[in-house]
Amino acid sequence: MDYFFTEEQEMIRDLCRQIAEERIKPVRAELDEKEQFPHEIIKALAQADLFQIIIPEEYGGLGGGCLENCIAVEELSKACCGVSTSYAASFLGAYPILLFGSEAQKEKYLPLIGSGEQLCAFALTESASGSDAGSIATEAKKDGDSYVLNGSKQWITNGGEAGVYTVIAITDRSKGARGATAFIVEAGDPGFSVGKKEIKLGIRASATAELIFKDCRIPADRVLGKQGLGFVVAMRTLDKSRPGVGAQAVGLAQGALDEAAAFARVRKQFGKPIITFQAVAHMLADMAIETEAARALVYATARYIDSGAKDFSKVSAIAKVFPTDMAMRTATNAVQVLGGHGYMRDYPVEKMMRDAKILQIYEGTNQIQRNVIGQELNKEYGRGK
Ligand code: COS
């Protein structure tokens, strides 16, 4: 299928495809097994200028949008979602600066993130605050020209690997969601430390860690936007980033389909390749149908967002839900097509199945996405549409 990419978009796709083939596929099983962060691959992505994709040209970046990000993430995810999560999480962390940063903040941080010199991370989730993002407990108190942060964040992708963190904390508890503020925290800030590193079911090449703030003092000019805007910063960031999770799902599903179809052509039972049995061919056909439908959805949504659309919470949630539910089904069916082989670590599909699960959970569970879609429908139909 031709999705009418520009020359630059094709270049991004080809570059990511090459890195995926040459640098990621040969080591993905080992990174997964050892739960090892892919430092060398991150370096290769930085050298190929791939962290510049969404950074505006005035800060040294390529000035790409959601579509360019999705193209890159899809290609990397075909090979390994652990690697693509580490990559994409840097953009997740950078979006609050891109969307709400002051000129000085953008000048300071975007070149560092774009060059890949520093990874970025987004810190919202806490032990008692997941789907209910408005209930975070980490506090930030103004003290002269500083803010002092106390509390902890949980399950933060790139935790311990990032140099720049965008952190949501409460500055006025009495105001509920409107009492949250977004801050930039640097890895070396006093009172900031990295706690427990998680051991995970999938995406094991990515780092997931706890962040601890103990009287962490940061200059007052690290506020993103203004005090009280933190919840909106978080929501707008997630609206922008969720199609990227959809792109991860498309890449993962394509990778699983590639493995399953190749296997089904050579695996013989009852004297014939199993792809010639209708039961297997139909499973592969469904995998192909759903993957292509999800891809079209992700690209269309990304193009809509890049067109300058103002309100895209609903379509962004749709572009996360459908591909990620599909990727879970597709990866599970790939394991089924490979049968006993699929269940063993000799083939990559069991890893894909483990990796797929998180896509339905992170950046807002698929149940929360349906809430967002339902709320928007309620508003639309309330207006008489
Ligand atoms: N863009 C801008 N503003 C938004 C917004 C969006 N997408 N979504 C909500 N807001 C605003 C609302 O307009 C409301 O503003 P007012 O106080 O002026 O009315 C405020 O934020 C609170 O919104 P709401 O009442 O809808 O908040 P809820 O507490 O009900 O939470 C959900 C809404 C569930 C959608 C939110 O908590 C959420 O997205 N949770 C999932 C979090 C998540 O993705 N976590 C993953 C970790 S990050 S990897």
Return the SS3 of 141: strand
Residue 376 lies in a domain: yes
Closest ligand 1 atom to residue 236 Cα is 1
Together in a domain, 75 and 126: no
Active site residue 363: yes
Residue 323 lies in a domain: yes
Is there a contact between 260 and 329 (Cβ–Cβ < 8 Å)? Answer: no
Distances from the Cα of 366 to the Cαs of 70, 121, 234, 317, 373, in angstroms? 19, 22, 17, 8, 10
Residue 1 lies in a domain: no
Cα of 199 to ligand 1 centre, how many Å?
29
Closest ligand 1 atom to residue 364 Cα is 44
**What CATH number is given to the structural domain containing 371?**
1.20.140.10
Together in a domain, 254 and 309: yes
Together in a domain, 200 and 317: no
Of all protein residues, the one whose alpha carbon is nearest to atom 40 of ligand 1 is 131
Together in a domain, 373 and 293: yes
Residue to probe by mutation, ligand 1, list 129, 198, 231, most atoms within 8 Å of CB: 231
Residue 374 lies in a domain: yes
Of all protein residues, the one whose alpha carbon is nearest to atom 21 of ligand 1 is 232
Tell me the torsion sign for CA atoms 365, 156, 242, 351. negative
Distance CA 154, CA 145 (A): 28
Cα of 287 to ligand 1 centre, how many Å?
33
Distance CA 42, CA 49 (A): 11
End position of a domain, from candidates 230, 251, 277: 230
- Reply yes or no on whether the pLDDT at 94 is more than 90: yes
Together in a domain, 223 and 252: no
Of all protein residues, the one whose alpha carbon is nearest to atom 43 of ligand 1 is 364
Using pLDDT thresholds of 50, 70 and 90, give the confidence band for residue 176: confident
Cα of 236 to ligand 1 centre, how many Å?
9
Together in a domain, 242 and 346: yes
Is there a contact between 169 and 232 (Cβ–Cβ < 8 Å)? Answer: no
Residue to probe by mutation, ligand 1, list 132, 138, 235, most atoms within 8 Å of CB: 235
**What CATH number is given to the structural domain containing 56?**
1.10.540.10
Is there a contact between 110 and 94 (Cβ–Cβ < 8 Å)? Answer: yes
Which of 310, 251, 320 is CA-nearest to residue 92?
Answer: 320
Together in a domain, 244 and 214: no
Provide mean pLDDT across the span 364-380.
97
- Pocket lining for ligand 1, CB < 6 angstroms: 124-125, 131-134, 177-178, 231-232, 235-236, 238-239, 313, 362-364, 368, 371-372
- Residue 173: predicted pLDDT: 94
Cα of 103 to ligand 1 centre, how many Å?
26
End position of a domain, from candidates 119, 140, 155: 119
Distance CA 137, CA 128 (A): 8
The number of distinct structural domains making up the chain is 3
Together in a domain, 216 and 111: no
Closest ligand 1 atom to residue 176 Cα is 17
Together in a domain, 145 and 201: yes
Residue 2 lies in a domain: no
- Reply yes or no on whether the pLDDT at 302 is more than 80: yes
Residue 321 lies in a domain: yes
- Residue 1: predicted pLDDT: 85
Of these residues, 74, 198, 363, 380, which one is catalytic? 363
- Residue 384: predicted pLDDT: 62
Closest ligand 1 atom to residue 239 Cα is 7
Cα of 66 to ligand 1 centre, how many Å?
21
- At CA 237, angle to CA 373 and CA 175, rounded to 5? 85
Together in a domain, 338 and 196: no
- Reply yes or no on whether the pLDDT at 282 is more than 80: yes
**What CATH number is given to the structural domain containing 178?**
2.40.110.10
Q: Give the helix/strand (H/E) hosting 342.
A: helix 313-343
Together in a domain, 92 and 32: yes
Provide mean pLDDT across the span 303-312.
97
Output the pTM of the full model.
0.97
Cα of 20 to ligand 1 centre, how many Å?
35
Mean pLDDT score of the chain: 97
At 191, which amino acid appears?
Answer: G
Together in a domain, 70 and 200: no
End position of a domain, from candidates 88, 119, 150: 119
Range of the domain at 45: 7-119
Of all protein residues, the one whose alpha carbon is nearest to atom 49 of ligand 1 is 363
Residue 182 lies in a domain: yes
Residue 166 lies in a domain: yes
Using pLDDT thresholds of 50, 70 and 90, give the confidence band for residue 26: very high
Q: pLDDT tens across 119-166, in order? A: 999 999 999 999 999 999 999 999 999 999 999 999 999 999 999 999
Of all protein residues, the one whose alpha carbon is nearest to atom 17 of ligand 1 is 178
Cα of 47 to ligand 1 centre, how many Å?
36
Of all protein residues, the one whose alpha carbon is nearest to atom 10 of ligand 1 is 232
